[in-house]
């Protein structure tokens, strides 16, 4: 296994994709309880698109190495780590730092990738898979026979949500632009064009009694429509504010506004619930089972992939040194699936 030198992509500030910098250095050494992962695949997530605009609500100070998650092989293990972990293919959710040839991660944060799943395939399932699984099964707690709305049903998280919902026997109404409707119909989704005027009215025609859950990554004013679509006992899961990606001003305010609405709605006596989902919730509290849940849920997603319930949608694979092109492509809105970076 060639360790080579360290290659990493640095986000120096609020720059266009071409402003990303390539930095070379020495391969890091793992500290106690850590491993060094030789990266085989990392991805361009919506988070990096927000970070390069300075709009991700808890991003570190510039300059830093972006990269929300990665898949690779354990190269070296630190003190106190099972040495047999070396040579194992693992996935890790890191929030930042993934866009590098070698990444230091706490051994407790890595999840083994089962044999037979390629690195790029596994990569498409890490952040999107955990997010979709937890929203569907831990927040909305869907049951067979229910109906849900997935906004952006062709997107990274949306497409996994659709597949996991179907595997659970749940009907899906999905919003997407018209060009994705045929593909969605083939998957058994009832498509609604989010550009064609009153989306809520169209969804009500399909589900006159309301729906059991709405998964909304858009935020902004549309979140009110999402809440109103719920049947009694229904759940709204908001997991982002994509509508504010290009706004100026406070990056916290859209999130606070959403949280305020969610708090208010949950205080109302109407048997409906709203959640603002953040995959990192509970990370700071030690021993609350965050790592166990993450490992259990990602393992469920990998098992669903092995059963054929979920497919890995790879939009494109580019080398790490072409991170600028990869980001442009991911932001173009023209691709289906995940843009993956490889060494």
Contact by Cβ (8 Å): 187, 173: no
According to DSSP H, which parts of the chain are helical? 46-51, 119-125, 127-133, 156-167, 181-186, 199-206, 222-228, 253-267, 290-307, 323-331
pLDDT for 337: 83
Would the pTM count as exceeding 0.85? yes
Token pair listed for 243:
């509508």
Residue 1 clears pLDDT 50, i.e. is over it: no
Taking only the tens place, the pLDDT of each residue in 293-322 is 999 999 999 999 999 999 999 999 999 999
What's the chain's average pLDDT? 92
Least confident of 15-24, 129-138, 269-278: 269-278
Taking only the tens place, the pLDDT of each residue in 8-60 is 999 999 999 999 999 999 999 999 999 999 999 999 998 999 999 998 888 99
DSSP state of 244: G
DSSP state of 335: -
CA distance 113 to 110: 9
């Amino acid at each position: 296994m060639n360790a080579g030198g360290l290659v990493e992509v640095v986000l120096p500030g609020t720059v266009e994709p071409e402003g990303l910098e390539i930095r070379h250095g020495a391969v890091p050494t793992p500290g106690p309880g850590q491993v060094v992962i030789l990266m085989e695949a990392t991805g361009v997530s919506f988070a990096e698109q927000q970070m390069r605009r300075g709009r991700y609500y808890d991003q570190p100070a510039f300059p830093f190495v972006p990269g929300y998650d990665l898949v690779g092989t354990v190269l070296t293990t630190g003190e106190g780590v099972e040495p047999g972990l070396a040579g194992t293919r693992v996935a890790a959710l890191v929030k930042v730092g993934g866009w590098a040839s070698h990444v230091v991660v706490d051994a407790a944060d890595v999840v083994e990738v089962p044999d037979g799943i390629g690195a790029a395939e596994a990569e498409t399932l890490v952040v999107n898979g955990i997010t979709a699984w937890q929203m569907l099964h831990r927040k909305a707690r869907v049951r067979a026979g229910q109906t849900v709305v997935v906004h952006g049903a062709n997107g990274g998280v949306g497409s996994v949500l659709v597949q996991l919902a179907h595997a659970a026997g749940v009907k899906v109404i999905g919003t997407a632009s018209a060009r994705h409707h045929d593909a969605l119909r083939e998957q058994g989704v009832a498509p609604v064009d989010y550009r064609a005027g009153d989306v809520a009215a169209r969804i009500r025609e399909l589900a006159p009694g309301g729906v059991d859950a709405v998964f909304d990554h858009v935020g902004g004013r549309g979140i009110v429509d999402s809440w109103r679509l719920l049947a009694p006992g229904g759940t709204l899961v908001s997991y982002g504010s994509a509508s504010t990606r290009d706004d100026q001003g406070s990056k916290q305010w859209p999130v606070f506004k959403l949280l305020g609405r969610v708090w208010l709605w949950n205080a109302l006596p109407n048997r409906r619930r709203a959640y603002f989902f953040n995959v990192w919730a509970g990370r700071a509290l030690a021993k609350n089972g965050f790592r166990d849940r993450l490992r259990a849920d990602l393992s469920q997603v990998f098992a669903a992939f092995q059963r054929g319930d979920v497919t890995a949608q790879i939009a494109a694979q580019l080398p790490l040194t072409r991170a600028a092109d990869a980001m442009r492509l991911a932001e173009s809105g023209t691709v289906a699936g995940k843009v993956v970076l490889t060494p």
